[in-house]
């Protein structure tokens, strides 16, 4: 079963755990950690992503994403492919407004990977599942 929006709580927990350990900062930007993402996104901070104040468009609103989902409903696209459906331009200036975006959570996962040089899945195990004793919980590896 895909956990969809429940994953956001896990991503936030991992990110905040890494902040508490000094491996990430809430002021880290996409430009600092993920310079290959669209230049318009570079000023967006880790703080703005889980607050949905980043201005990054929601990839699920894209017609191209809808078509890809219908073409392959059982295979999730890689995170960067999902973000490609969000377009390159921001909806608004980062921090100026709120707009829910599934893209924000994808970027948080990529920032976690960039800060730790480990997969998002391994960080879920290390920062959430392990400490909570969730021995039957796993996160399937994301396609690359």
Over the stretch 99-120, which tens digit does the pLDDT of each residue have? 999 999 999 999 999 999 999 9
Question: CA 99 → CA 45, 63, 124, distances in Å?
Answer: 15, 19, 26
Does residue 73 lie in a domain region? no
Does residue 10 lie in a domain region? yes
Does residue 100 lie in a domain region? yes
The total of structural domains in the chain comes to 1
Does residue 68 lie in a domain region? no
**In the chain, what percentage of residues exceed pLDDT 70?**
91
Q: pLDDT confidence of 63, banded at 50, 70, 90?
A: very high
Over the stretch 129-143, which tens digit does the pLDDT of each residue have? 888 887 776 665 543
Distance (Å, rounded) from C-alpha 20 to C-alpha 16?
6
- The residues, any chain, with a CB within 8 Å of residue 1's CB and separated by 6 or more, are none
Question: How much is the pLDDT for 144?
Answer: 39
Does residue 144 lie in a domain region? no
- Its domain, for residue 44, covers 4-56+89-132
């Amino acid at each position: 079963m895909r956990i969809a929006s429940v994953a956001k709580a896990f991503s936030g927990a991992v990110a905040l755990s890494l902040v508490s350990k000094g491996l990430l900062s809430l002021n880290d930007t996409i430009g600092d950690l993920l310079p290959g993402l669209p230049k318009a996104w570079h000023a967006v901070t880790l703080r703005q992503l889980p607050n949905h104040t980043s201005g990054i468009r929601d990839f699920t609103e894209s017609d191209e994403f809808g078509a890809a989902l219908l073409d392959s409903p059982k295979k999730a696209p890689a995170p960067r492919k999902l973000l490609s459906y969000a377009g390159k331009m921001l909806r608004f200036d980062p921090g100026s407004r709120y707009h829910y975006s599934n893209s924000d959570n994808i970027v948080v996962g990529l920032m976690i990977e960039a800060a730790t040089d480990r997969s998002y899945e391994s960080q879920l195990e290390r920062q959430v599942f392990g400490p909570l004793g969730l021995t039957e919980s796993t996160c399937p590896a994301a396609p690359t």
